[in-house]
Amino acid sequence: MSESSTYPPVTRDLAEARHALAPEAEEAFRAFSQKVFADGALPAKTKQLIAVAVAHVTQCPYCIKGHTKAAQKLGATPEEIMEAIWVAAEMRAGGAVAHATLALAELGVGKIAEDATGPG
């Protein structure tokens, strides 16, 4: 699969330039990332599956590729990775459906429930 010119391949030169332009921020981000993706209350494999799902929602091609590889390296199967992607797709679609409430309320369609404290 060829890369779009919108998303150039990451090269050593680009990585070095990113680091040179903001070394402290890059080092802090790397340390943060390593801590976040380490085994904890959630195993690292689960965290990478979550990252695969989130990467599809944020639509970051670099994240999709990187976290898919990391999940696979930690033992995630293609079936687990695809299931995580389907969860992301459902959540993205669910948000659109849930937000229909805003459009319907704006249109005055349907009864809007009163909150738990009652009127006024």
Task: Classify 41-107 by CATH class.
Answer: mainly alpha
Task: Return the pLDDT at 116.
Answer: 47
The per-residue pLDDT for range 50-82, each reduced to its tens digit, is: 999 999 999 999 999 999 999 999 999 999 999
**Where exactly are the structural domains of the chain?**
41-107
Tell me how far apart the alpha carbons of residues 13 and 63 are, in angstroms, rounded to a whole number: 19
The per-residue pLDDT for range 5-43, each reduced to its tens digit, is: 788 898 999 999 999 999 999 999 999 999 999 999 999
Tell me how far apart the alpha carbons of residues 39 and 47 are, in angstroms, rounded to a whole number: 8
> Which pTM value belongs to this model?
0.81
For the CA atoms of 37, 93, 84, 69, what is the dihedral angle to 10 degrees? Answer: -60
